[in-house]
Structure formats: structure tokens, C-alpha cells
Structure 1
Amino acid sequence: MADKQFKHKIDEALGNNVLRGALGRFGDAYTLARAKAYDGYDFNSIRENIAEVKSYAASHLDDMLDQFEKQASARGAKVYRATTGEDAKTYILELAKRLGVKRIVKSKSMASEEILLNKTLLAEGMDVQETDLGEWIVQLAGQHPSHMVLPAIHMTKEEVADTFTNHLNRLNEPEISELVKTARVELRKKFLEADMGISGANMAIAETGTLIMLTNEGNARLTSTLPPVHVYVVGIEKLVPKFEDATHILQALPRSATGQQITSYVSMVTGATPAYLPDGTVQDKEFHIILMDNGRRKMYSDEKFKKTFQCIRCASCLNVCPAFQLVGGHVYGHIYTGGIGTILTNFLNSEKDAKNPQNLCLQCGKCSEVCPGKLDIPQMILEIRNRMGEKDGLPFTQKFALDVVSNRRLFHSMLRIASVAQKPFTKGQPVIRHLPMFLSGLTEKKSLPAVAKVPFRDVFKTIKQDVKKRKGTIALYAGCLLDFVYPKIAEGVIIALNEKGFEVVFPEGQSCCGAPATYMGDRKNARKCAIMNIEALEAEKVDYVVSACPTCTHALIESYKELLQDDPALAARAEELSRKSRDFSKLLFDLGGLPPGGDGAPLKITYHDSCHLKRSMGVYAEPRKILTDTSGVELIEMKESDRCCGFAGSYSIKFPEMSGPILDRKLKNIEETGADVVVVDCPGCLMQISGGLDKQNPKIKVIHTAELLLEKRKKKQNKYKK
């Protein structure tokens, strides 16, 4: 759980309208620019090539290092392999002292930021000047970069003008062209006076000993050519086998980083070059390359994190992250920010520094969708979370809640009690709009659904199934929400599958899928839930297992296999369950869907894509086809239909201050469609969106696909035994 100081930093960021405006405008512009930049290119093919090239380099790391050093040394470079950040700093400091260096210019280098190089050099009395415009701005402001590619993205031109004014002691107007001109004038003399230049690199080509830099400013070339001494600080993950391999990264890096076809400058440095001194003399340049580990080998040797070497540091994961777009990079605490930054911080700095930032991840998966290195960033963050949970334990309240949830009889008994105890708060309505005292924050921005008077497991016993031309049997996995909050959805699932010729069974031993425990870092209780459901569902005895909650479906298909991999018998059963499990819309579509029909009454709908359904399972066209085959239904696509609604399980409880603005954006997009109804395939999303609309625009209703089919197609067949 996040600590109070971290929560305070979040509140400060959320209260900074300038910051949120800057991040919001960039996020919107980036999405369009990236799409345009990749127009005509096969992104999946490019990322496959990058993953292949980078994974090969990582798996042959020592060979790549040897080859690079041999080639670079033959061309006049002095190559040093730094095991730690301290080793790298000591090397640079001793070099500077030996050569009498007083003035240093730096072009952008996240590796040098990572080891706090500037602080070390400044402590020794050296003048260290950042020359990347964004880096220079944050240096003058006394900050560290908030973004790996765009260091000053969090600042407006007015803030930059004020920073320049305070530093230069003369008024600077907030005109971008004038601010750039000021920077050019101030920095040009620094290049001419510098004794040493320090740079980072985007790639290190083992075949030729070449270093490649992609930049949009001329400072990187000036830094690497004018000073008589030049030092590159390069993480060992930047190695690429051959020159031709670099083309794949050149295709992706500018497009993914800033939405450009190519950066203004692509600089390639192979070996030492002559240094032209201010007095007109020429001498051989001191050229040094530091290949830095600093925790990278440890990260690669961990099977769960080895793919981090496929990261090309484009920061596209930050650019599309709903959490980053709200609070920016400084909330993450250390140098690297966003999703990939949390992982890098965990290995390259400390687990302690990653403990709070990992909580910011909603597990929406948008970052993985755009990652050119094919990294499953949410899964890696989840692994960090689980390891922290195993090592440090969870806070008492979380652990108690998860212990209850994983105890089926106790959990279900408490839910039945809640259905009665909630009456003073529901006031006869199916929602709770106000809660008292310390619980009031839960209903400040949205309503909560009431627990159903009768759980589905009781309703199921009263349902008459009408199955003609029986084809088989399907086990219904209801999960917590269908069973105890939205039983009508489960009824819709049964009616639709009956029409396709399948009898539906409901194994009573089923309970929570374990996702809450998984996403809070409690692997023990998640495993307990997995075993309970595998034994209850008995996938071996049915044709399919269907769920109408994508989060639950993902658990059945993916999570159980991982949780039970150390037990051969249970792992085999988990594999069988995985093979037979389907989400409702996917299964209905695969079975041929329902024939066109319905009551014909006009209904304008829009559709919200569940994060798990679209990005984890690749299902998005199927529910739309099922819905539009229903007579009278008109589908109006909303903007950002696959953007997270902010529910993310316990996230909306742990971080209501983050969940709220994310939900507000979703509600705005819904309202702009003019639809009467929002259709979802996830009961969690239903709870989040319907709760928000109940507070802000109750005229718009929210309904699950299965329930809409039930209402539009099968009203006359909706009968219980009395």
C-alpha cells in the first residue's frame, strides 16, 4: 500500500492544473502523431524484428561486449566496463582530474542521470552544463527529468520563461522561439569553452564499434566533436549485433518516442576524431566509452525480467499511460519514470524506491500494446508486486480482506449478510449513493451497486433451460460480481448458450477467481482460489467453461497455469481449464453468434472495451458483431473506446483520486456519442461506469452484452419457476 508521503505527492500533482494541462495536451497530440508516423508501416513486423535483434544481443552479451570493445579500441577509443554506477563515476572523475578538466558539457544521457553523475562532478568543483534544451531547463529549475525523452514535458513555456529570468537575471518572455534563441546564445559559448563532453547513446553496434545517437538538437554533435575529451556512458542493454540491425530501431524509436518519421539528427560515431582547439591547433581527441552494467545483468538473469533488454527507451509506455498523464514523472520518485521506469528503478536503483511507484500501474496493458520492444510491462510490474508481497507482507486490512475472499463459505456468508445490512443505504434502490463517515469517499464521485437480494447461485436453481438439439455442456463461472451483484447477466449468458444448443451447469464450489489477491501481491491466496475453482469447475467433464468477466476469464486462461506450475497434477488441470475457458462474447461468436433478430425497438448504444478483453485476449470485433446483429441496435463508436475506465479492481479503492479523473474522461467520451446505453463486457467496468453516470448523467444506462441480448431478444422467455 502506498505511504502517506507518496499519496501527498499524488495529491500535489493532481492539484497542479498547469501540469495536468501540459501532460493532457501532449498525450492527445502524441496519439495522433504516432498513428500518422506509423501509417503505411507494419508495426508488428518492426517490433518482431527489434525483439529478435535485441534478445539475440542480450543472450550473447559477453560476445557482443568483446566484439564492440575490440572494434572501438581499434579505432582509437578507450573502452571501460563499469560493473556499478560508482565504478563509472570514479572512472570519469579520475579522468577529469588527470586531464585538468574544469568545464564539462553534456548531451542527453539517462545513464548519467541514473548514477547522479552531475552531483559527483559538481561536488568536485567542476562546471557541469546540460546542453539538451529540456535537460538544461530542469537543471536550472533544480529538478530531475520527468520523462526519459522529454525531460521538461511537465513545464509550460511560462514556467520556462520564469526559470530563465531567475537564472539569467533578465526578463524572458514566454515565446518559444525566443526561449530557444536564448538557450542557443547561452549554451554556444559553453561548447567552445568545454574541456570535456559527456554523452549517452541509443545504440552501440558490436560489429563496428559504432555509437548512434538520435536527437532533435545540434547539441549532441557539438558535445561529441568540439571538446578535446569525450566520454560516452552507455548501458550494456544498448548493444546491437550488426549495423543493419540498427535499421529496425531507427524505424521505431522516433515514431514511438515523439511521433516523428525520423529525428532531426542521426549521429554515428566510430572511433576517435581530431579535436580542434580554440587556438587553432589540432590534437588527437581523448575518446572514452563506458559500458555500464549497474544491475542490468541481474535484471537479465531473472527469467521474469530478461525481456527488459528489448526496451529501446522510446518512452511510448509513458506517453499512453493513464496514470502518468495525470501525475507526471516526478511522482515516481527516482530517475526513471512510468511503467518501464518502475521496473528499471527496482533493479538499477533499489526495490525500496520502486515500492510506491509500482502501485500506480492500473494493469490496463496500453503500454504493452504500443511497446516496440514487445515488453509485457504490466506483467513485470505485477511480478514485482507479488515479490514485495511475499517479502514484506501486505497491510493488515488488505491481508484480512483477501483471507476472507479466499475462504468461500465465509466470503459468501458475509455477502448474504451484506444484502440485508445494506438496506439503510440503498433505500430500496439497486445502488448505494451515500455512505457515512470514513466510508463517504467511496461514494463521493460515483454510486456503488447494491448486493443482489438473491445471489445467482440461488437463482440458477429456478431457471428452466430450454435446449433444443443439444450439442454439449458448458460450465458457467460467475465470479463474485455475477454471482452476488449482477445475477441478471448470468441469466443472459445461459439463455444465449441454450439457444446455441448447450446446457449450462453452475458448479456451486466456485468462488472468487483470485484476481484481487493477484493484483495486490498476495500469491498465496491467489493460489488458494485457483485450486478451489479448478476443483469446482471440473473442466475435464464439460465442453467449455464460460465467464462473463474478462478479468476472471484471464485468470482462468493465464494466471492459474503460472500459479500452479510447481504441481504437475494441478498444472495439468489448469492447462485443461485454460484450453476450454472462453469469455462470453468470444464463445458466442465462435459458436456462430445469434441469428439476426430482436424486438426492433431503436436503441443507440456505444461500446466500452474492457482492458483485459481487448488487450489480454484480443477480443473487440466479436461483441460488436453480436450487438449489431440485434434488431434496432445502432452502434456509435466512442472516442478512446479502449481507454481504461479507472476501475482496475482494488485500484479505485486504493487510489480514488486517480481513478476519478480517469473515469471522468471516459464519461465525457460516452456523453459525446449521444448514445442511450453504454454496453460493456466486464462487470467491473459496468460497476465503475454506471456508478459515475448515476452521479453525473443518470439518463445514460450501462448494461452488459449478455443482459442486453436478454432484454432485446428474449423477454418472453425470461421466466423463473415461481
Structure 2
Amino acid sequence: MGVLAEVYEKLNTCGKCGFCHGACKTYKNDGAEFLVARGRVQLIKALADGKVEADDDYEDAVNSCLLCGECAVACPSGVRGHELVLAARRDLKLRHGVKPFLKSVALKSLAKPGVLKFGFGFLAGTGKSVLKKVDALQFVRGIDIYTMPAAKVPFSKQVPEIITVPNPKKKVAFFVGCFMNHAFVSSAHSIVKVLTKNDCEVIVPKDQVCCGLPQYVYGDFEQAKVQMTKIINTFSKYDYVITGCASCASMLKKEVIELFHGDASMLPKAEAFTKKCYEFSEFVVNELDIADKLQNETPVSVTLHDPCHMVRYNSLTAEPRSLLKSVPRLNFVEMFEANRCCGAAGLVMAFYHEMSEKITAQKAQNIMNTGADIVATSCPACMLKINSGLRLKGSNVEVKHVADVLAAALN
């Protein structure tokens, strides 16, 4: 049975009411029917019925989806449009592989730690100095290359495999994730500081690989399985596995079950593994007692951006807010549409950058309207995209991980 045949009945549940139009950011930017869940679902159904071809226009409709999940929240019929788009992408992968070629290269590169290390190392070294000689290259596809963090040495190589503390109360394995390992290294150090200051021994396994989410969302289940199998084998021995990336958390806690659906040998291991996995703020709120240790002499105003994988995939919205509000002299300001997509959406920001920039510009404006000094979030990709959006608007609002704000308040 083909992928679309498996979801065919779900395709038929769309009542064509159009409630998704008010929720979909891609539709709001363009107004084209193929850029909203209703249109995408009808296109996918038409392909399943043999009425259209899987041509470039069809692929654009499917691949430009942010997978933010907002359409599912708005749908009165319970249609989960983003999940049907995932099925369509899987179908495309099985038909002719991942297109275009550069996207295929990007996904293969993410699966190879050595390639990532070389790429970010080059950017941290001579890469930026070369780019800065060409003024027109500061913003590349909406990303501020000049301010983009890049580490010559990945975080996992900067720290020992076991970071000890006297009389540890918990032993925690840290799944770093690609972007935090190679770009937002300071945020990874902040996570370690918060954990160690709260009597946690931190283990940073050296043979970490990408969680497989980028490959998974473009239908390459085979490669994603290779990566997740290695992760499960490496991390299952630990009682707690935490990550500071909302997207990685979603893969480790949720998508891994769908990935190994029907695999009798791996599914039980995956199910047991998910029970050990925590997103950073989730772990701190549920497992640690941190409030009494926080100090802050300088008043600061902070707002919060909810990554899509936090709010609609993992239902984690109260936890980061609770942590930020526990910091003394921190004025928390709620942002308008805090839970709306920032436009990053993985490789969407690279291959549909004009659409992505418009979405990011609105998010940046919402942040600026709060008057906050800092916008905190829980996703390195969101941090990158929001920082670029703010810089394009000439704003000096600082973009920080939730862990950065907490670490700064710990002696």
C-alpha cells in the first residue's frame, strides 16, 4: 500500500470550510489557495486520485509548508494538515528522492558530523572574514551571516564526556543537537551550568549525531532510522536525556514513535527511550528546585517566543514562562502571537526565503512592540532566524535561549 493510500481517508475528512486560512502564515503572505492546508490537502488527494502530476508546482505546495501545526488547531473537523503534508513528502521521496539537489546535499550533510564540523569551522575561521569583504553578502537568504554564531570547535569537543559535581543528585545525558553543538555553543554551556549548579552530573556522549528530524520531515525515513537507532543505542543507558532544542525534543519524544511504527525490533526500544527524554525547561521545572538559587541585581525586561515544536508538538508553554518569571527583577512581557511560527521551519527558510522573511518580519515586529530588552526562546533555529529578522529591522533586542537567562542569574 502506498503512502497516500494509507492516509486517503484522512484526506477525505477535510470539509473545505476554510478555517485554516486564518491560521496559516504562508497563506497570509501570498493568498494563494495552494499555500493553505485546505488547498494542500486537495492537491494531495488529487495526486492520489491520479488527477494531477507530482510536478514542480505540486512539490512547491507541499515543501513550502512550515509544518507549524497551526492549521490543525484551527480545524473544526480535526484534520491534521501538517501530518498529511508529511505523508506527501514521504510519497515524493519514494517517487524520485529529495529534490532539489541542494536540499538533498543539505540533508546528507546534516547526517555527517564531520561535514558539519568542517562547515561551521570554516565559517568561524576564514569564512566570515571573506564574506565581510562583500557588503551584499551580509544577509544571505534572510540570515545575517555576520552575526551568525559559529564554533571552530564543537561544544561536544570543548567539554569532558562526564562533567562531575560533588554528591550528584541526578545523572543527566545531554543531547546537544547540531545547531547548538556547532553554532549556539554558549547556550549549550548555559544548559550545563544550570544543571551542574543544581547538583546534576552531566554526560555529553562524544558520538552524537543529528536527531534525524530534517531527514524525517522530507520523507527520508531510512536515513532518519539510522541516526535515531544510533542515538537510542547511545543514550538509552541513562535515566534522563535532555536537549535544549525544541525540534530535537520533538523528534526524541514524539516523532521517533511514528518513525519506527511497525518495526517490531526497534519500536519497544523507542517507546522506552521517549520516557527518558525531556526538553530543557520541562526537565528543570519537573525535576529540579531552582528558584531559590536565582539572583539578579539588574532589572531586565524579557519576552518569550514559543517555537512550534514546543507549543503544538510538545505542549510545553507554561514551563519556560515559569522559569523566566522566577528570576528576580525580571519583568516578563507577553508577546502578541507568541506561539506563531517565526518563519525558520528548518530548510524552509533556505529554500523559500522570501516567504520566510515576511513571516520573520512580523515576528520581529511583535517582539519590538513589547519593548523588551531580551527575547528568549527554546530553539536554536528560531534564535538564528529571529536575530536576523531583528537585525534587518535595525533592532538591538537580544536573542537568548531560556537557559542563557537562567544561567546569568546563577552564581
What's the TM-score, normalizing by structure 1? Answer: 0.53
Give how far 1:646 is off: 0.3
Q: Report whether the alignment pairs 1:594 with 2:287.
A: no
Q: Which residue number corresponds to residue 460 of structure 1? A: 159
In 1, the alpha carbon distance for the partners of 2:325 and 2:336 equals: 18
**How far 1:302 moved relative to its partner?**
3.4
User: Structure 2: which amino acid aligns with 1:639?
Assistant: F
Alignment of 1:530-541 (within 5 A): 530-537=228-235, 539=236, 541=237
* Equivalence for 2:182: 484
Q: 2:272 aligns with which of 568, 576, 584?
A: 576
Amino acid at match of 1:489: S
Alignment of 1:614 with 2:315, yes or no, is no
- Label 1:350 to 1:299 Cα distance change in 2 as closer, same or farther (>3 A): farther
Match of residue 352 from structure 1 = 54
1:162 equivalent in structure 2: none
CA distance in 1, matches of 2:249, 2:16: 32
- CA distance in 1: counterparts of 2:254 and 2:368, whole angstroms: 35
- Partner residue, 1:701: 398
CA distance in 2, matches of 1:642, 1:393: 33
Structure-2 separation of matches of 1:707 and 1:495: 9
In the TM superposition, what whole-angstrom CA distance separates every residue of 1:70-128 from its partner, at most 9, and x where no partner exists? xxxxxxxxxxxxxxxxxxxxxxxxxxxxxxxxxxxxxxxxxxxxxxxxxxxxxxxxxxx
Give the SS at the match of 2:291.
Answer: coil
CA distance in 2, matches of 1:454, 1:536: 22
Distance 1:678 1:530, change over 3 A: same
Paired residues for 1:221-232 under 5 Å: none
Is the CA contact 1:339–1:378 (under 8 Å) kept in the aligned structure 2?
no
Could you tell me how far 1:565 is from its partner in structure 2?
3.3
Residues 623-656 of structure 1 deviation map (CA, whole Å, 9 limit, x = unaligned): 1011110111111111111111000011011011
Verify: 1:374 aligned to 2:75, yes or no. no
C-alpha spacing 1:673/1:378, structure 2 compared with 1 (3 Å)? same
Is the 1:560–1:574 contact (alpha carbons within 8 Å) kept by the matching residues of 2? yes
The residue aligned with 1:652 is: 349
Distance in 2, Cα, partners of 1:607 & 1:358: 30
SS where residue 375 of structure 1 aligns?
coil
Residue 574 of structure 1: how far off its partner (Å) = 1.7
| 8 Å Cα contact 1:447-1:695 kept in structure 2 | no
SS at 2:381's partner residue? helix
Could you tell me how far apart the structure 1 residues matched to 2:101 and 2:231 are?
Answer: 25
C-alpha offsets along residues 448-504 of structure 1, whole Å, 9 cap, x if unaligned? 513113321122229954354x23311100111111111111122122222443211
Show the 5 A alignment for 1:36-75.
none
**Shift, 1:586, TM fit:** 0.9
Change (3 A) 1:573 1:417: farther
Match in the other structure for 1:550? 246
Cα offsets for 1:184-219 (capped at 9, x unmatched): xxxxxxxxxxxxxxxxxxxxxxxxxxxxxxxxxxxx
Q: Which residue of 2 aligns with 1:390?
A: 94
State the Cα distance separating 1:446 from its structure 2 match. Answer: 7.5
- Aligned counterpart, 1:321: 24
CA distance in 2 between partners of 1:473 and 1:613 (Å): 24
Q: Specify the SS of the correspondent of 2:232.
A: helix
Confirm whether residue 527 of structure 1 aligns to residue 231 of structure 2: no
Q: Which AA in structure 1 matches 2:73?
A: E
Contact 2:240 2:277 (8 Å CA) reproduced = yes
Amino acid in structure 2 at the alignment position of 1:456: F
* 8 Å Cα contact 2:375/2:397 also seen in 1: yes
**Structure 2 residue identity aligned to 1:454:** V
Distance 2:170 2:401 in 1: 25
Change (3 A) 1:434 1:490: farther
**Following the alignment from structure 2 to structure 1, what is the Cα–Cα distance between the partners of residues 289 and 143?**
40
Structure with more contact order per residue of length (Cα contacts < 8 Å, sep ≥ 6):
2
Compared with structure 1, are the counterparts of its residues 371 and 446 closer, same or farther at alpha carbon in structure 2 (3 Å cutoff)?
Answer: farther
- Distance in 2 separating the partners of 1:713 and 1:323: 40
Matches within 5 A, 1:378-527: 378-394=82-98, 395-425=100-130, 436=137, 441-443=140-142, 449-461=148-160, 465-468=164-167, 470-527=168-225
Residue 603 of structure 1 aligns with an amino acid whose one-letter code is V
Separation in 1, partners of 2:90, 2:4:
19
Match of 2:260?
564
C-alpha distance in structure 2 between counterparts of 1:565 and 1:489, whole Å:
34
Matches of 2:367 and 2:92, distance apart in 1: 38
Cα offset, 1:314, TM superposition: 2.0
- 8 Å Cα contact 2:20/2:38 also seen in 1: no
Q: CA deviation at 1:614?
A: 0.5
Structure label with greater radius of gyration: 1
For residue 42 of structure 2, what is the aligned residue in structure 1?
341
Letter of the 2:251 counterpart:
A
Is 1:304 the counterpart of 2:7 in the alignment?
A: yes
Deviation string 1:322-362 (CA, Å, 9 cap, x unpaired) is 001111135559xx954433443433533526333112210
Map residues 12-161 of structure 1 onto 2, 5 A cutoff: none
1:374 is paired with a residue whose SS is: coil
8 A Cα contact 2:139 2:145, kept in partner:
no
Q: 1:49 maps to which residue?
A: none
Deviation, structure 1 residue 511: 1.5
Structure 1 residue 711, shift from structure 2 partner: 1.2
1:299 and 1:328, CA in 2 relative to 1: closer, same or farther beyond 3 A? farther
Distance in 2 (CA, whole Å) between partners of 1:374 and 1:332 is 19
- Relative to structure 1, is the Cα distance of residues 392 and 452 closer, same or farther in structure 2, using a 3 angstrom cutoff? same
Does the Cα contact within 8 Å between 1:557 and 1:581 map onto a contact in 2?
Answer: yes
> Is 1:687 matched up with 2:375?
no
Q: Number of aligned pairs?
A: 406
Which segment drifts farther, 324-333 or 578-587?
Answer: 324-333
CA–CA separation in structure 2 for the residues paired with 1:498 and 1:323: 42
What is the aligned partner in structure 2 of residue 249 from structure 1?
Answer: none
Give the conservation status (yes or no) of the 8 Å contact 2:157–2:206: no
Question: What is the alpha-carbon distance in structure 1 between the residues aligned to residue 135 and residue 203 of structure 2?
Answer: 37
Q: Does 1:666 align with 2:368?
A: no
Whole-angstrom distance in 1 between the partners of 2:35 and 2:163: 54
**2:332 aligned residue:** 635
> Is 1:625 the equivalent of 2:322?
yes
Extract unaligned runs of 5+ from structure 1: 1-297, 715-722
Distance between the aligned counterparts of 1:341 and 1:466, measured in 2?
56
Change (3 A) 1:634 1:387: same
Which residue pairs with 2:67 in the alignment? 363
Measure, in 2, the Cα distance between the counterparts of 1:440 and 1:601: 33
When normalised by structure 2's length, the TM-score is 0.90
Deviations 1:520-564 (A, max 9, x none): 332232222222322332x2x211110110111111112222223
Deviation at 1:515, TM superposition (A): 1.7
Separation of aligned partners in 1, 2:145 and 2:284? 32
Q: Provide the C-alpha distance between the structure 1 equivalents of 2:197 and 2:40, rounded to a whole number of angstroms.
A: 44
Instruction: For residue 202 of structure 2, give the secondary structure of its aligned residue in structure 1.
Output: strand
CA contact (8 A) 2:302 2:372 kept: yes
Counterpart code for 2:65:
C
> Closer, same or farther in 2 for the Cα pair 1:534/1:553, shift >3 Å?
same
Q: CA separation of 1:329/1:352 partners in 2, compared to 1, >3 Å: closer, same or farther? A: same
**Displacement after TM superposition at 1:445 (Å):** 7.1
For the residues of structure 1 that align with 2:2 and 2:115, how far apart are their CA atoms? 41
Q: Which residue of 2 aligns with 1:133?
A: none
